[in-house]
């Protein structure tokens, strides 16, 4: 991933994280060389007829990092700043994430450079179906199973599933996860990532001896992940003092009414713009608020060497992928901030995606209670494995998590050998 094709701040950060973990593990040099690069990276053109009759050509990506443990797995994001480097970094992180929590899956990621908020439903559907057609020969239930990510949802997944199924001539619900329950989705999937973040915060609080009912939290990002985190934390007594989305944030030291915020956002195209509660603040100001728990659940690289010293949280739970740079990690370690790294904190989404895939393959579905219990069991086990590694090796939680995930992949590669 050091080659120019994949070079971006995110991909360089992902490789630097890998190199640090590989050095600590004493990883086989040949395996390390292989894992720095994705197995496959695709750039596709997506010609789409817009509502005005003109054809706009979007650019789409699908990067498959490693499948030594099982089929590729990873979301598809729609965002104006999607690029090959970002998608490559996200695919690499997915490999470590799946390995860390013990899933028989590899890492992939996809995306389209677009602003879904500016597209009509018909334009969004047409673009999604053409994107699916362009990558159709590279995905499949035993090959690569996409899922939702930033800017996509269960409707987008339904269109992907239908397009793939039409080409195959029969329904293939197991081609994607994060679908509506009516066509093979699983109960608990939409809330899974945010719910998993909360499970990890609960375990961190137990470890630190913190009473969550007396804690405050600030959540950057009020989308599918951040909104669930805010709602679930409020339900267990944590005071939510600030939330934000791309339109900005809102702050109230006495606590915000999360349920009302959710209602307002739902009525305003899932945006906090024009919110009638709290004081208006910027996304950067939110990160620096005095709070016990900070949850960055938006874009990557939000916490940097420029603002890390001003963070005032005790627990940093990364709901987003890659929100903290390496320079910031060093600062936060000095400040004794307890970090729950992204590959652990937000792994709930891929865990329940795995549950959905398994249920589709066997045509047997679980209750939401069963899904949530299995999710919690897997994440709590992973949390304590990472904590034990951190204490044993005297490294931070991120490096510990990466070491566990990378080591499992490396061992599998050595067992399987090199086909040449």
- CB 117: neighbour CB atoms within 10 A? 13
**Alpha-carbon span 332 to 355, nearest angstrom:** 34
**Alpha carbons 180 and 202: distance in angstroms, whole number:** 29
Query: Beta strands 315-317 and 338-340: pairing type?
Result: parallel
d(CA 253, CA 259): 17
Q: Whose structure tokens read 């709602």? A: 231
Question: CA 199: distance to chain centroid?
Answer: 16
Q: In what order do the strands lie in the sheet with 293-296?
A: 279-281, 248-251, 239-245, 216-220, 293-296, 315-317, 338-340
Instruction: Return the H-helix or E-strand segment holding 46.
Output: strand 40-49
Element (H, E) at 66: strand 55-66
**Of 96, 74, 93, which Cα lies nearest the Cα of 25?**
96
Strands 106-113 and 55-66: antiparallel
113 phi and psi, to 5 degrees?
Answer: -80, 100
183 contacts 150 by C-beta, under 8 angstroms? no
Q: How far, CA to CA in Å, does 103 sit from each of 18, 245, 283? A: 20, 31, 34
Cα 153 from Cα 226, distance rounded (Å):
15
The residue count of the chain comes to: 420
Q: Cα–Cα distance between 409 and 106 in angstroms, integer?
A: 9
- Active-site option among 109, 179, 231, 239: 109
| Cross-strand pairs, 43 | 61
51 touches 126 (CB < 8 A) = no
Confirm whether 206 is a catalytic residue.
Answer: no
Measured CA to CA, the distance from residue 405 to residue 233 in angstroms comes to 28
Residues acting as catalytic residues: 109
């Amino acid at each position: 991933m050091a080659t120019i094709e994949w070079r971006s701040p995110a991909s360089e950060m992902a490789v630097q994280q890998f190199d640090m973990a590989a050095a600590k593990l004493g990883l086989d040099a040949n395996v390390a060389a292989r894992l720095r690069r994705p197995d496959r990276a695709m750039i596709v053109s997506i010609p789409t007829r817009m509502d005005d009759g003109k054809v706009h050509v979007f650019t789409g990506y699908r990067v498959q990092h490693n499948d030594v443990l099982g089929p590729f797995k990873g979301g598809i994001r729609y965002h104006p700043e999607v690029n090959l480097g970002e998608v490559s970094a996200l695919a690499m992180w997915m490999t470590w994430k799946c390995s860390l929590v013990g899933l028989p899956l590899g890492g992939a990621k996809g995306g389209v450079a677009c602003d879904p908020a500016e597209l009509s439903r018909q334009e969004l559907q047409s673009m999604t179906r053409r994107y699916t057609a362009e990558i159709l020969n590279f995905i499949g239930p035993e090959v690569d199973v996409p899922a939702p990510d930033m800017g996509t949802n269960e409707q987008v997944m339904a269109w992907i599933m239908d397009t793939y199924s039409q080409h195959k001539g029969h329904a293939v619900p197991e081609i994607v996860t994060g679908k509506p329950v009516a066509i093979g989705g699983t109960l608990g999937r939409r809330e899974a990532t945010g719910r998993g973040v909360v499970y990890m915060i609960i375990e961190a609080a137990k470890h630190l001896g913190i009473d969550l009912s007396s804690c405050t939290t600030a959540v950057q990002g009020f989308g599918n992940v951040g909104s669930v985190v805010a709602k679930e934390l409020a339900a267990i007594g944590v005071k939510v003092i600030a939330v934000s989305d791309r339109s900005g944030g809102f702050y109230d030291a006495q606590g915000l009414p999360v349920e009302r915020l959710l209602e307002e956002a739902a009525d305003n195209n899932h945006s906090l713009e024009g919110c009638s509660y709290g004081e208006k603040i910027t996304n950067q100001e939110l990160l620096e608020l005095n709070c016990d728990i900070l949850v960055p659940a938006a874009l990557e690289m939000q916490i940097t060497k420029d603002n890390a010293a001003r963070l005032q949280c005790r627990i940093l739970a990364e709901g987003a992928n890659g929100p903290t740079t390496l320079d910031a990690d060093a600062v936060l370690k000095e400040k004794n901030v307890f970090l729950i790294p992204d590959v652990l904190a937000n792994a709930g989404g891929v865990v329940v995606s795995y549950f959905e895939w398994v249920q589709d393959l066997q045509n047997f579905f679980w209750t939401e209670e069963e899904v949530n219990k299995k999710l919690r069991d897997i994440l709590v086990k992973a949390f304590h494995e990472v904590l034990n590694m951190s204490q044993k090796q005297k490294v931070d939680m991120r490096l510990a998590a990466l070491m566990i995930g990378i080591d499992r992949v490396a061992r599998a590669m050595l067992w399987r050998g090199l086909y040449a």
